[in-house]
Amino acid sequence: MIVRNKPRIWELAFALRGSVVPHIAGPLLSLVLIAGALVWLEQSYHPLPAIDATPFTVFGIALSLFLGFRNNAAYDRWWEARRLWGGLLADLRSFAREARLFVQDEPLRREMLEVALSFLHLHRASLRRRTEAIEDGLAEFRDAAHPPDAALDRLGQLMAGALARGAIDGFGARTLSARLSSMALQQAGCERIAGTPLPFVYSLLIYRTTYLYCLMLPLALIGAAGWLTPLFVGVAAYVFLGLAEVSEELSQPFGDNVNALPLDAICRAAEISLAPHLGQQAPAPLLPKDFHLT
């Protein structure tokens, strides 16, 4: 996620970190060159038909509305994912306080908190498809079919064993089990978002329509704009292709792009919160590098 103050007026033209320009530079340049070639062709041989700009105005408004709808859908996914991870962090903090209240066995409580923290790291790795890069401290669950579920199952086993031995009373076990269920619910919500992308037909229609619009636009501008036509086509292509690319990135909140959620920083916040309960020194919070918080 990009973390920076609002750019100053002279930074707007040069701020590339977090911008979609590197992703659309190739198609954008191609459309500008095609527009320039059409201008040269028209001024040299006059083979192109003169088209009124009114249909393109209506076409552009319709395309803008559809892009706005898709952008809203993508942002809803991004924001829901952030809320789910905020809920996970809150659940983990509450679990630590509840464990201190109901679990008097210090080694058992410590093991439960370590497994809960392991679950969060495993969940992050699973969402990012990086299960093979699990930290050494989580190796106990590495060979499981679904490592995050294995960690939650281990927590359930620890609570069941503690209840059977009388180390936790029935009310404490019920409270901790409810917290575990809440964590599982937040986990399932994240997996639903990660496993259900925006319908492909949206992307197909958006990109086809955008390219069609930008390729036909010079026909309406050549007569009035002349050699300024490539500039106007470039501006229109930047807006439409840029919005489409923004929607693509926001629709993948757990991905590797710079606008994805800072899952590493959220996991570090959980480590900081649980450090006092584990008798450890809290690590330093993660800070953005080149305005990018991972």
In DSSP terms, which residues pair with 115 in a beta bridge? none
- 18 φ/ψ angles, rounded to the nearest 5 degrees: 90, -5
54 residue type, one letter: T
Pair 264, 125: CB distance under 8 Å: no
Contacts of 146 (CB under 8 A, 6+ apart): 126
Question: Token pair 């359930």 is at which residue?
Answer: 156
The three-state secondary structure class of 72 is: helix
pTM of the model as a whole: 0.87
**What is the spatial distance between Cα 235 and Cα 229, in angstroms, rounded to a whole number?**
10
**What is the spatial distance between Cα 294 and Cα 292, in angstroms, rounded to a whole number?**
6
pLDDT at 13: 62
- The parts of the chain modelled with pLDDT lower than 50 are 133, 136-137
Residue (of 83, 79, 82) closest to 71 by Cα position: 79
pLDDT at 95: 95
The three-state secondary structure class of 292 is: strand
3-state helix, strand, coil in the chain (%, to 5): 75, 0, 25
- 2 φ/ψ angles, rounded to the nearest 5 degrees: -80, 130
The three-state secondary structure class of 112 is: helix
Question: Token pair 């083979």 is at which residue?
Answer: 47
pLDDT at 92: 95
